[in-house]
Amino acid sequence: MRVTVFGATGLLGQALMREWQHDEVIGLSSKDADVRKFEQVRAAVERTHPHRIVLAAAYTDVDGCETHRELAFDVNSRGAANVAQAAKQFGSRLVFVSTDYVFDGVSETPYETDHSRAPRSVYGRSKAEAEQQLGEILPDCCIARTSWLFGAGGKCFPDTILKLAGTRSEIDVVDDQRGSPTYSVDLARGIIQLCRRDATGIVHLINSGDCTWFDFAQEIVKRAGSTTVVRPTTSEKFVRPAPRPKYSVLSPASAQKYGIEMPSWQDALGRYLIERQDLRG
């Protein structure tokens, strides 16, 4: 199988390039092909002529999207449509990486794949629009939604907490937002399995279990052996430009249909800390 990965230098893209074995995988950065420009995307797909395309390129700065709305839609929505059009033209199958932010965050039970989209942020709306467009352009594409992504080789929540713990005796973390932390390595492995199993439709790929950001931070500090005290606080005390879902746990049922069982977020965190330490030498 020949695979082209758009967004190969991002957090997920790096993991995909490291984890993908026994196939011909070509990674593209924005310098190789800007997804906002159809001719660049078309040329890249024509050149690599993949059986599978994974679209991991995205503008993921949730607060930045609120300020730069046009950029968010250019990359996340129109860019995704460009890749889908090129995939359709050259007969490639597409896996598009989406997000829990397409939901409103008011549920009290895990979101199933057919739950209505109701995004509350610009980022969420740009990804929801992309999902809708891809469904029209490529009805047999696969949309892999994930949440709370973390991993080595880029900015993420555990890295931020560890850096704060290195300089502070106490840190405040919100305890009223709940989700499923997902390790880039496990997400990459899940996407690889989706490609090999010719998956279509919407699939939720998250590490198993759920927690609040406070719970997550406590576990990070504990595993790292830090003496920093983590204190719970509320979202109202940490006002951000983009609204955050209070509840964004995704149901794993769709992944299980493809025989994909994701490890727990606690197990994933342990492996991340080892990887992070290895990279730091």
- Residues with a known catalytic role: 123
DSSP, res 77:
I
Report the alpha-carbon distance of residue 92 to residue 253 in Å, rounded: 26
- Inter-residue contact 65 to 123 (CB < 8 Å): yes
Hey, which bits of the chain come out as E strands?
2-6, 24-28, 52-55, 93-99, 142-146, 149-150, 170-174, 178-179, 182-183, 201-204, 211-212, 229-233
DSSP, res 49:
-
Report the alpha-carbon distance of residue 139 to residue 82 in Å, rounded: 15
- Inter-residue contact 207 to 265 (CB < 8 Å): yes
| Exposure class string for 260-276: b at 16+ Cβ within 10 A, else e | bebbebeebbeebbebb
CA end-to-end distance (rounded Å), the chain: 35
